[in-house]
Amino acid sequence: MKARVYVTLKKTVLDPQGQTIHRALTGLGYRSLKAVRQGKVFELELNGVSKEEARRQVERMARDVLTNPVIEEYCYELEE
């Protein structure tokens, strides 16, 4: 079982890196670009667990270790 956890800053948190990337891209001619928010992706491989157990473990790992709940939020996807 594989999981991908996407971690991003909460919408209410300023994203200076995203703003810098946005300025760089618009400077390169991408004028239709409205906004950029940067984040990170974790790819996890779980061995010998059911889909429901994988869901529980990934949820716990994302909540307890992979994110700072004060400023970040996450979502994830599972694939077999």
0.75 cut: is pTM over it? yes
Among residues 66, 61, 52, 64, the alpha carbon closest in space to that of 1 is found at: 52
Is 61 a residue whose pLDDT tops 90?
yes
At residue 80, the pLDDT reads 86
At residue 56, the pLDDT reads 98
Measure CA of the first residue to CA of the last residue in the chain; give whole Å. 5
At residue 68, the pLDDT reads 97
What does the pLDDT average to over 44-61?
Answer: 97
CATH architecture observed for domain 2-79: 2-Layer Sandwich (3.30)
